[in-house]
């Protein structure tokens, strides 16, 4: 019997994903080359990237005007990449655990950060309520699932400013109304793929509003313009992510996952 792994991540992947990825390590798409040595600009891998982005949009019912990116650096790089691209004068954060604390620390390097509420006083064992999101903030950041402390925001909140969410560990666990978010991101190693690739769902119109210089690799527009191919992407994890996306679709999609999870 297959062993299970209840770690916060890297976590268990579908057998479908592991089997197909293992086969591609030996011979990818009949090329006679391993997925680990294929050119990321080959037509075979470009097709993988295109299908992965398309399935991401299909499964989450992502509206027009959003881009799906596959990047390196883990969700932790996003803690800085988000303020680099979105922070003008002020940012608002909800502090619900270790990951939100790290995100707050990175944002504070860019200016005023208002922590609208925190559950740190009770070791993050609850999600704060009855707080006010400042309407003069450039964005409001939340962490939907706090793996270390075990709390989860299980609904899509309304926000008067662009809503940014770290969904590293609960993406694809329930249907979400993507239109309520300006940006959703996460490391893939919880629910999607091996560590090494980070997904970003971003509403295109929130970009281009800061005056600072943004380093090329930290600029979301760079990766939107190049279809996540500005530099060599994490090829094997992207391929594995595509297998998981296929598996999700074959097994009834996100509504079926929510039912199983509940």
Give the catalytic positions in this structure. Answer: 99, 166, 190
Asked if 132 and 110 touch (Cβ cutoff 8 Å), the reply is: no
Tokens of 177: 């109304």
The rounded distance, in Å, linking the Cα atoms of 75 and 57 is 20
| Nearest partner of 180 among 221, 144, 146, 208, judged by Cα | 144
Asked if 34 and 27 touch (Cβ cutoff 8 Å), the reply is: yes
Q: What is the helix (H) or strand (E) element at residue 99, kind and residue range?
A: helix 98-107
Q: To 5 degrees, how large is the angle CA 215–CA 74–CA 103?
A: 75
Helix %, strand %, coil % of the chain (to 5): 35, 15, 45
Q: Which residues of 42-65 are buried (b: 16+ CB within 10 A; e: fewer)?
A: eeebeebbeebbebbbebbebeee
The rounded distance, in Å, linking the Cα atoms of 198 and 106 is 18
């Amino acid at each position: 019997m297959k062993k299970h792994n209840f770690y916060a991540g890297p976590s268990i992947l579908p057998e479908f994903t592991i089997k197909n990825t293992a086969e591609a390590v030996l011979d990818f798409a009949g090329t006679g080359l391993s997925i680990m040595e294929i050119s990321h600009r080959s037509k075979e891998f470009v097709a993988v990237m295109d299908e992965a982005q398309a399935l991401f949009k299909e499964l989450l019912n992502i509206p027009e005007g959003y881009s799906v990116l596959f990047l390196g650096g883990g969700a932790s790089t996003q803690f800085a990449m988000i303020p680099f691209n979105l922070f003008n004068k002020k940012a608002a954060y909800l502090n619900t655990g270790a990951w939100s604390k790290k995100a707050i620390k990175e944002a504070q390097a860019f200016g005023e950060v208002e922590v609208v509420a925190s559950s740190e006083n009770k070791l993050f064992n609850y999600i704060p309520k009855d707080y006010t999101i400042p309407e003069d903030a450039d964005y409001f950041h939340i962490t939907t699932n706090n793996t270390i402390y075990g709390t989860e925001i299980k609904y899509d909140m309304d926000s008067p400013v662009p809503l940014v969410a770290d969904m590293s560990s609960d993406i694809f666990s329930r249907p979400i109304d993507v239109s309520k978010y300006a940006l959703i991101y996460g490391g893939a190693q919880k629910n999607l793929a091996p560590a090494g690739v980070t997904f970003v769902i971003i509403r295109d119109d929130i970009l281009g509003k800061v005056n600072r210089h943004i380093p090329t690799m930290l600029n979301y527009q760079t990766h939107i313009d190049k279809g996540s191919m500005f530099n060599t992407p994490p090829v094997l994890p992207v391929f594995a992510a595509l297998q998981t996306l296929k598996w999700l679709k074959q097994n009834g999609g996100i509504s079926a996952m929510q039912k199983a999870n509940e």
